[in-house]
Amino acid sequence: MAVELLKGNVALAEAAIRAGVEAYFGYPITPQTELLEHMAQRMPELGRVFVQAESEVAAINMVYGAACTGVRAMTSSSSPGISLMQEGFSYIACSEVPCVVVDVMRGGPGLGNILPSQGDYYQVTHSAGHGDYHPIVLAPASVQEAIDLMGLAFDLADQYRHLVFLIADGLIGQMMEPAELPPMRPLRKVKGDWALTGADGRDPRFITSLQLGAQEMEAVNLRLQAKLETIRQNEQRWTEYLTDDAQLVVVGFGSAGRIAQTAVQQARRDGLKVGLFRPITLWPFPDKRLSALADQVSAFLVVEMNAGQMVSDVRLAAGGQVPVKFYGRTGGVVPVPEEIYDAIRATYQKLSQRSTRE
């Protein structure tokens, strides 16, 4: 297919359509509204389902309903709307109904603003709702990667009967980049043996997240935890840049990782042995590789567009072996390469001082 100039939100919507999404339910909220608007245009054209719900609360429950019948269903929102949907996420995850949610993150907390941030990391990776579970969380750093990960999101959701988030900061949702969309996939005809389709010639099925007995609820939890462990073992994804001989590795996801890459390039030109590690799955967090890198490097510098969220997971993966420093901007401020370069320089200098002292 041809390379074209695409806006991130529109690319996400069209990529979902190509991946075979059959139902979209959403509510307008900046900076993701173009995704909803694209769906409003395209889904009826294709004879698929589109509803602008009365709220995000309604939207996630419409997704839950549609997904219960075995179709590919999704919604999209931004930080405050994601907060509203949390009850729905928990029900969906507990009852193991596959679905995909896009979060285009904005400045917060509270009503915040409509500028880009990465402030929802804790929220979506820890559980995005009450109780013990983690959604799979994918984090693109470009419009093309967003397109590619959208197809993967639906496949992972179906493979594991799980909730999958694709999170992007507002920058990725709003920017336009050359990218290529995949061809249209045919809609699936076969549904899982759990799907509600009407008890025609079979016993009725039911889908619930209610388990009044402690033993029964624990059994559900153990099953979910086992599934999460399988996902942890098999689905960690990341990318690395110039890490082979790096003394300092910068860790960043999404736009922060991408901007940090420019800073890393500048640092390398100045002779610093710096590399970049960019997680693509935020859950499961790519801790296997990061732990291995901790054996090699002298420090990590985590760069985020929040007050320090992924840095906790980097610290856990590093296991206390090396210092983990943090540089972040909040409130919708997008860091520029120069300020990350300064942070790299400052961290790197301290490493040299430490090693000359030893």
Partner 1 sequence: MAVATLEENVVYRRPQSLTDTPTHYCPGCTHGIAHRLVAEVLDELGVRERTIGVSPVGCAVFAYKYFNVDNVVAAHGRAPAMATGIKRVMPDRVVFTYQGDGDLAAIGLAEIVHAATRGENFTTIFINNAIYGMTGGQMAPTSLPGQHTSSSPGGRDVEMAGFPVKMAELIAGMAGAAYVARRSLHSVKEINRAKKAIRAAFEVQLNGLGFAMVELLSSCPTNWHMTPPEALEWIERAMIPAFPLGDYKVIEPVQAFLKR
CA distance linking residue 151 with residue 149, whole number of Å: 5
Stretch that binds partner 1, among 67-75, 117-125, 267-275, 299-307 (CB under 8 A): 67-75
Q: Does 163 bind partner 1 (CB under 8 A)?
A: no
- H/E run at residue 268: helix 254-269
CA distance linking residue 315 with residue 320, whole number of Å: 7
Q: Which of 175, 196, 220, 242 binds partner 1 (CB under 8 A)?
A: 196
In the sheet where 99-105 sits, what is the strand order?
49-52, 23-26, 73-77, 99-105, 163-169, 136-138, 281-283
By C-beta, is 83 or 209 nearer to partner 1?
209
CA distance linking residue 299 with residue 354, whole number of Å: 11
CA distance linking residue 172 with residue 53, whole number of Å: 24
Q: Does 220 bind partner 1 (CB under 8 A)?
A: no
DSSP per residue, 219-230: HHHHHHHHHHHH
By C-beta, is 223 or 354 nearer to partner 1?
223
7, β-bridge pairs: 176
Show the site string, 105-144: x = touches partner 1 by CB under 8 A, - = not: ----------------------------------------
CB of 95 to partner 1, least distance (A): 8
Q: Which of 10, 15, 73, 128 binds partner 1 (CB under 8 A)?
A: 73
What DSSP state is assigned to residue 188?
P
The residue count for binding partner 1 (CB under 8 A) is: 39
Q: Which of 20, 27, 39, 64 binds partner 1 (CB under 8 A)?
A: 64
CB of 72 to partner 1, least distance (A): 10
Query: How far lies 20's CA from each of 46, 124, 133, in Å?
Result: 11, 24, 26
Q: Which of 1, 4, 44, 55 binds partner 1 (CB under 8 A)?
A: 55
Q: Does 358 bind partner 1 (CB under 8 A)?
A: no
Q: Which residues bind partner 1 (CB under 8 A)?
A: 22-23, 25, 49, 51, 53-55, 57-59, 61-69, 71, 73, 87-88, 91, 95, 196-201, 204-210
